[in-house]
């Protein structure tokens, strides 16, 4: 016990020391005499001078994420690795306690993708960056955050798909742009608010499947799929949103480890996408180049290939232990190290790390800017907007509170009392967690409705010992809800699923509940990845089906407001829900998107089978009608007229599409208007997408209200990617689909044009 208190005291002393040395001292410390503290100089000039004053060993100490202090220069230690995927998260750089015991916990990115509301994403990111700055000012977080994850959710088995906004490159590209703007840009354009990091570059979407883990996986990707599917979100992040850093992934890509892939990191990220920042490795990925991928044969060659490829910063210690050896054996030169440090320190300068606090509004943020009323409201709104109503037979939902007096409602199932589970992965300590039971009780308070709970079963345990109590409760209840799904024991970092079915024990309990329920059963599913819900979809005894994802701190209240009609759901699936047989039809190792003899095709764009529920599906309590205004619509366009824009950006408008959306039902609500294009068939036999998303907008409509939605049909929307990755515009009919409805076609006349 005495040793425990000694260790506790030492940790407190270290934390206090970290507080006092959180920022460099440019007023009276050794640095104050150097150009690094001269704000009139360009950031790279300031960084270069500081680096020039370091010894070689000191430089090497700065090439890893836990960078050491350099006392003689007055440079404090810095932890580069902080996390903020959907709120500040437990990580080496983030600590909860003292005046900052918690931080807002928003829904997982898969939920945010389901909202199709990029303004919402931007607002959430802005709050996260504000709270991050408050934590940093208190010495409880860094300024560099390894978020977001923008890999495409290619396969439903992937354990980390919940960290992404879904399967569609266009949706993911829009999401990451809004997110990075909210994270990095604030009210002071002189500084980055925080530095974000787009990961994992690239083609990373496998954890551990059939004996191969992410450290050893070689992703065999065609040039066509790379350009069409795997790169667009990173282009949006790097080129458009101007993210401060990216992370190279564990896997190899066509035989070259990602953190040693000079073509990806230098040619694409830096030269083509104009990355203005640094590249950091995933943790221990540098070591994997040698030990897992066997790409190099010595430690010094491994350092050299990673550093020369453009990996500036390592999450790990391989650089720390072996960079000097590589230098001594002339595999690298000191200028290589200087270049890497130039990129990292330039970002710290752009964050204002060296500048006086009194001139920075971000340095004034504190505990009063964390867990604010706005943040709490937004946590609820974002959870509500993400909920997807998949089934609602005979308008069984919403429940009318006025008709439920003295009724008993049974909440049964392993996620009815979910708290931390609602946060998904990469979460922090939330200020509160409202589970569904509490949410139901809060919404029904004062209405004399009896809310009762029985667990019934676990997530995946085959033990049925609790069935009896659940069935007994269901028999005595007027309305029965089953809360099930999966959790992070089944899908998480390091773990992929082998099946995509609802766990057997849950399905068995649902079938028992169907037999005894007085009214049709309601089912609510919590998950990040897709589940085969065909039994529930087809069952006449299941009246409604809701997907709630991992909805964050207010998730239980959000789903309750939907059930009782206080919020009209409008979420749309950001992924395809495949039948269970899908996992037997294609290997996770198969990176190809298009169908083949061993692959039924991936995502809504290429899947040749019948989905359980398709991407973009979701119901509302009201109805909407679409008509189009053709005043500015061009149905025929000459290919020749497009040639004059061939040197311009892809955003040149071919035709303007204006849709009138009318709420024709009896309840106010949101509608998510999705615009797809079906490209023409190509004469050379190449497979084109069945359809592909090129626009979306979420709007709110009162009863009988009409609003106009505008979608520009651009050159980017019309482009087809050839097998050699070249971009083409082909003549023919381009069918425009709004939601489920084909509305009109655009004819491009002339000869095919190679765009790039």
User: 333: number of CA atoms within 13 Å, CB side?
Assistant: 1
**Which residues, at least 6 apart from 277, have a Cβ–Cβ distance to it below 8 Å?**
195, 243, 244, 245, 246, 343, 346, 347
Which DSSP string do the residues of 201-233 spell out, in sequence order?
A: ETT---SEETTEETTT-EE---HHHIIIIISHH
For 262, the enclosing helix (H) or strand (E) is helix 262-262
Measured distance CA(54)–CA(127) in Å, rounded = 37
Measured distance CA(343)–CA(70) in Å, rounded = 19
With tokens 């619509």, the residue in question is 633
- Asked if residues 671 and 570 have their Cβ atoms less than 8 Å apart, the reply is yes
Beta carbons within 10 angstroms of residue 511's beta carbon:
13
Long-range contacts of 695-698 (CB under 8 A, 24+ apart): 695/657, 696/116, 696/171, 696/174, 696/672, 697/116, 697/672, 697/673, 698/115, 698/116, 698/117, 698/385, 698/570, 698/670, 698/671, 698/672, 698/673
Measured distance CA(560)–CA(571) in Å, rounded = 15
Q: How far apart are the first and last CA of the chain?
A: 69
Measured distance CA(317)–CA(296) in Å, rounded = 17
Measured distance CA(46)–CA(40) in Å, rounded = 9
CB-neighbour burial class of residue 604 (10 A; exposed 0-12, middle 13-18, buried 19+): buried
Peptide bond into 325 cis (omega under 30): no
**Which residues, at least 6 apart from 435, have a Cβ–Cβ distance to it below 8 Å?**
416, 417, 418, 419, 422, 555, 556
- Asked if residues 688 and 681 have their Cβ atoms less than 8 Å apart, the reply is yes
Please name the residue ranges forming H helices in 685-747: 715-718
Residue count of the chain: 756
Coil, helix or strand at residue 696: strand
- Percentages helix, strand, coil for the chain (3-state, rounded to 5) are 35, 20, 45
Tokens of 353: 């790390």
Distances (CA, A) of 675 to 68, 116, 176, 303, 590: 51, 12, 19, 47, 29
Quick check: is 282 catalytic? yes
Please name the residue ranges forming H helices in 352-455: 373-386, 436-444
* Phi (first) and psi of residue 79, to 5 degrees: -100, 115
Coil, helix or strand at residue 562: helix
Catalytic residue among 282, 371, 435, 466: 282
Coil, helix or strand at residue 750: coil
Closest CA to 672 of 576, 739, 605: 739
Tokens of 561: 């407001």
Q: Which residues carry out catalysis?
A: 282
């Amino acid at each position: 016990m005495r040793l425990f208190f000694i260790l506790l005291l030492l940790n407190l002393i270290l934390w206090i020391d970290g507080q006092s040395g959180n920022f460099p001292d440019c007023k009276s410390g050794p640095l104050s005499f150097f150009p690094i503290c001269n704000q009139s100089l360009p950031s790279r000039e300031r960084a270069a001078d500081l680096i020039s004053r370091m010894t070689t060993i000191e430089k090497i100490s700065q090439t890893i994420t836990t960078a050491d202090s350099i006392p003689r220069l007055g440079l404090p230690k810095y932890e580069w690795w902080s996390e903020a995927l959907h709120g500040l998260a437990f990580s080496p750089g983030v600590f909860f306690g003292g005046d900052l015991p918690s931080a807002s916990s928003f829904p997982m990115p898969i939920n945010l993708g389901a909202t199709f509301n990029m303004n919402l994403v931007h607002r959430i990111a802005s709050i996260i960056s504000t709270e991050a700055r408050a934590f940093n000012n208190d010495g409880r977080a860094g300024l560099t955050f390894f978020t977001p994850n923008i890999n495409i959710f290619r396969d439903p088995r992937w354990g980390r798909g919940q960290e992404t906004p879904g399967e569609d490159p266009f949706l993911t590209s829009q999401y990451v742009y809004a997110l990075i703007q909210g994270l990095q840009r604030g009210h002071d354009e002189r500084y980055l608010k925080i530095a974000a990091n787009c990961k994992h570059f690239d083609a990373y979407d496998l954890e551990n499947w059939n004996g191969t883990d992410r450290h050893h996986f070689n992703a065999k990707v065609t040039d066509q799929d790379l350009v069409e599917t795997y790169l667009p979100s990173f282009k949006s992040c790097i080129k458009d949103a101007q993210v401060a850093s990216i992370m190279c992934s564990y896997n190899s890509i066509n035989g070259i480890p990602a953190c040693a892939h000079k073509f990806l990191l230098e040619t694409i990220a830096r030269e083509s996408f104009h990355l203005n920042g640094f590249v950091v490795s995933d943790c221990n990925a540098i070591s994997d180049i040698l030990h897992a991928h066997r790409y190099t044969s010595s430690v010094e060659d491994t350092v050299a290939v990673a550093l020369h490829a453009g990996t500036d910063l390592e999450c790990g210690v391989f650089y720390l232990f072996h960079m000097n050896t590589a230098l001594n054996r002339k595999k690298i030169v000191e200028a290589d190290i200087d270049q890497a440090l130039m990129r990292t320190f330039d970002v710290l300068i752009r964050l204002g790390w060296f500048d006086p606090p009194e001139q920075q509004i971000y340095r004034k943020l504190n505990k009063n800017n964390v867990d604010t009323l706005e943040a709490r409201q937004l946590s609820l709104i974002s959870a509500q907007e993400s909920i997807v109503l998949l089934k609602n037979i005979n308008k069984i939902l919403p429940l009318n509170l006025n008709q439920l007096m003295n009724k008993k409602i049974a909440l049964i199932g392993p996620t009815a009392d979910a708290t931390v589970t609602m946060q998904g992965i990469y979460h922090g300590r939330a200020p509160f967690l409202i589970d569904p039971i509490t949410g139901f009780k809060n919404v029904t308070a004062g209405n004399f409705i009896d809310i009762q709970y029985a667990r019934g079963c676990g997530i995946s345990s085959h033990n049925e010992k609790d069935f009896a109590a659940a069935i007994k409760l269901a028999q005595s209840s007027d309305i029965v809800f089953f809360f099930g799904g999966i959790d992070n024991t089944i899908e998480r970092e390091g773990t992929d699923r082998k099946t995509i079915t609802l766990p057997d024990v849950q399905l068995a309990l649902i079938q028992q509940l169907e037999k005894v329920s007085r009214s049709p059963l309601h089912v609510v599913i919590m998950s990040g990845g897709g589940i085969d819900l065909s039994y529930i979809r087809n069952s006449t005894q299941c009246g409604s089906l809701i997907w709630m994802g991992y909805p964050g701190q207010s998730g239980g209240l959000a789903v309750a407001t939907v059930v009782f009609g206080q919020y009209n759901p409008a979420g749309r699936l950001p992924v395809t829900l495949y039948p269970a047989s899908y996992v037997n039809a294609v290997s996770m190792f198969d990176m190809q998107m298009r169908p083949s003899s061993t692959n039924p095709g991936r995502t809504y764009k290429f899947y040749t089978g019948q989905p359980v529920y398709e991407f973009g599906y979701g119901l509302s309590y009201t109805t909407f009608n679409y008509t189009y205004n053709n005043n500015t619509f061009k149905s025929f366009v000459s290919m020749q007229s497009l040639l004059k824009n061939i040197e311009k950006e892809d955003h040149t408008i071919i035709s303007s599409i204006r849709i009138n959306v009318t709420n024709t039902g009896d309840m106010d609500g949101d509608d998510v208007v999705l615009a797809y294009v079906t490209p023409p068939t190509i004469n050379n036999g190449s497979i084109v997408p069945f359809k592909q998303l090129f626009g979306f907008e979420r709007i709110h409509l009162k009863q009988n209200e009409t609003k106009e939605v505008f979608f520009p049909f651009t050159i980017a929307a019309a482009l087809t990617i050839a097998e050699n990755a070249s971009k083409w515009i082909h003549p023919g009919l381009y069918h425009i689909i709004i939601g489920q409805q084909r509305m009109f076609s655009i004819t491009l006349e002339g000869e095919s044009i190679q765009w790039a």
